[in-house]
Amino acid sequence: MSELKRPASGKRRLKDLLSQKDNRFCADCGAPDPKWASANIGVFLCLKCCGVHRSLGTHISKVLSVTLDDWSDEEIDAMIEIGGNSAANAIYEAFIPEGYTKPGPDSGHDERRRFIRSKYEQQEFLKPSLRISSGKSSQASLTTSISRKIMDSFRTNSSQKSEGMVEFIGLLKIKVLKGTNLAIRDMMSSDPYVVLTLGQQTARTAVVKSNLNPVWNEELMLSVPQKFGPVKLQVFDHDTFSADDIMGEAELDIQPLITSAMAYGDPEMFGDMQIGKWLKSHDNALMEDSIINIVDGKVKQDMWLKLQNVESGELELEVEWLALDQ
């Protein structure tokens, strides 16, 4: 039984959820130390995004203070079941168009409002089969349907296939650790950020300003469909007044990770051990063999990559596989 599901006071369980790494930044703009949450959507929010959520109405987003408001057991259970920002964003942002930029902590109100309305009210980035009509729904029924549909999307039974629907087999949690000796794209430096793409999904890190050796330590989530290919990784230099410049790319072969994980089943049944390997070769971006391990009951893989199609640059990642039944 997980820590969060053991009997404890409601506020304690909520604060434990907030303290998890994925939830220490606003789900919509990435601002640190969020103190608000949407109880029915299941995400933690900063004060600025919280104001936009309130304007949507409680039938779409019921905003509560983590510390000041009273929470019902049902609201806390729904937040914990969804799992927080990364799990919810893997659904609500699954189909963000290529090149679309999320608002940042310093974005203006109009940019923030457009994104949040598109994400939750108009559900533009949501998997089409999960979209909910909220016009005349009661708050309680909408709360239940949103939470249930998100969780069901992670737990889709592979035997229940529908034509045109994408079935997911698990999640990738990719922690972008740091870059080394990245390429210069401005006068003396660059403002790098990383973009990950799998199928129609795109996730990106924050921009690190004026740094050729950036440290992100940022976790990104991608849903893995039954028919998957490699994860495409690209590094860009952020430019304010022109198109962002490419700073290298690489492809991540996730087949060894998933095959190894599925061969062993529940990783919590095993002690720490090596279970697989992605081998370095002339046709991939690995700097060295990438070992797949079970560590503390989790399937993880460290990757050290040399960026391709660029004069210089290396990237370090930590990848974790999450099966749908975990």
What string of pLDDT tens digits covers the 326 residues of the chain? Answer: 444 544 456 778 888 888 888 899 999 999 999 999 999 899 999 999 999 998 888 888 899 988 888 888 888 888 888 878 888 888 788 788 888 889 999 999 999 999 999 998 888 887 665 555 444 344 344 444 544 555 554 444 333 333 344 578 889 999 999 999 999 999 899 999 999 999 889 999 999 999 999 999 999 999 898 888 999 999 999 998 889 999 999 999 999 999 888 888 888 888 899 988 999 998 899 999 999 999 999 999 999 999 999 999 999 999 999 987 65
Q: What is the DSSP letter of 1?
A: -
Q: 48 and 109 in contact (C-beta within 8 Å)?
A: yes
Which residue matches tokens 């062993």?
264
Q: 116 and 109 in contact (C-beta within 8 Å)?
A: no
CA 251, distance to chain mean position in Å, is: 18
- In order of 53, 270, 276, 277, 299, the CA distances from 27 in angstroms are 12, 33, 33, 33, 25
Q: 220 and 205 in contact (C-beta within 8 Å)?
A: yes
Question: Among 250, 217, 252, 258, which residue's Cα sits nearest to residue 231?
Answer: 252
Q: 277 and 291 in contact (C-beta within 8 Å)?
A: yes
**What are the residues whose beta carbons fall under 8 Å from the beta carbon of 265, sequence distance 6 or more?**
none
Structure tokens of 134? 């909220």
Structure tokens of 321? 């596989």
- In order of 17, 18, 25, 223, 243, the CA distances from 21 in angstroms are 9, 8, 8, 19, 31
**β-pair type (168-180, 314-323):** antiparallel
Identify the three-state secondary structure at position 10: helix
Question: Among 105, 145, 248, 151, which residue's Cα sits nearest to residue 190?
Answer: 248
Cα distance between residue 73 and residue 27, in whole Å: 22
Cα distance between residue 108 and residue 306, in whole Å: 36
CA 254, distance to chain mean position in Å, is: 17
Torsion of CA 174, 178, 179, 184, to 10 degrees: 110
